[in-house]
Structure 1
Amino acid sequence: MSIVEQGLVVSGDIFGEVDLTVRGIIRGSVFLQNANLHIDQSGYVQGEIRAERIIIAGEVLGDVIAESGLQVASTAIIHGNIRTAKLAMAENAKFSGGLDIQEPEPVELEIRDFKTLSEEDYSKLRRWRMQNHIE
C-alpha cells in the first residue's frame, strides 16, 4: 500500500497496481489496475480516478470509475461523472455529475461462461476492459 500523506502535493498522473490512500493533494489522474483507492477526508484529487474499488471521504474534481464498487462517505464531495457496478452513498455526501451503474456484460468478448476462464484469459479480459473503459 502507498500513501500520499497530508501536506504533500503531487502534480501529474499516477499509474500503479498497488492500493493507494490519499490524504494529501493530487493534481492529476489516478489509474490503479487490480488495486483499491481510498481518498481520506483530508484528501483531494483533481483529475480522473479509476481503480478496482474506491472509497471517497474527501473531494474529487473529475470522473470516477470504479471497477467493482464505489463507497462514498458523508464527508465526500464529488464533481464529475461516476461509473461503477455497485454504489453505496452515505447521507449528506455531495455529488454533482452523471451516474452510470452497470454490470459488465460477458458477451463483450463472446465469453458465455466466466467460470471456464483460465487465469491468463481472465487477465487478458480485465486488461481489454480497462483499455476500452468498460466496467
Structure 2
Amino acid sequence: MNAMDSLILRTATRFLLPLLLIFSLFVLLRGHDEPGGGFIAGLVAAVAFSLYLFAFDASGTRRLMWMDPRPMLGWGLFIATLSGLPALFQGKAFFTALWWPVHVPGIGSVTLSTPLVFDIGVYMVVIGSVMAIVLALAEAEE
C-alpha cells in the first residue's frame, strides 16, 4: 500500500493543510517583530504543500498552489529586493528598515515596515524553491 491509498493520510491532510498554512501566515506576520519571519514561515507552508503532495498527487498540488513555484521564486526575490528601495528615497542606506504607522478603522494602529515586505519576499522564495524541487522529484517519479 502506498501513501496514495492511505485514507488516514488523506483525511489528516485535509485537516492539517489549512492549519499549517494559517500557522505559516502567523509566523510570517509575527516574525518581523519577533523571532521567525519569512524563512521559517515559508518552510512551514512548503511542508503543508508537500504533505498534500504525498497524500494526493503532483497535479493536484500544482492546482492547490496559487502560483507556479518557479515564478513565485522570482517574484519573491523581486519583492525582497524592492523592500530596500524606500530607504534610498529617504537618503539612507539600502535595506535600512523603515516603519510607517497606519490607522485601520475597526482595528486601530498597525505598523507597516520594510522588514515585513522583505519577509514576504523571502516567504515566496522559500516556498517557490522548495516546491519546485519537491514537485520536480515527484513528477519524475510518476
**Structure with greater helix share of residues:** 2
| Fold shared, TM-score > 0.5 on shorter chain | no
User: What is the TM-score of this pair, normalised by structure 2?
Assistant: 0.30
Report 1 or 2 for greater relative contact order, CA contacts < 8 Å, sequence distance ≥ 6.
2
User: What is the TM-score of this pair, normalised by structure 1?
Assistant: 0.31
Structure (1 or 2) with the larger CA radius of gyration? 2
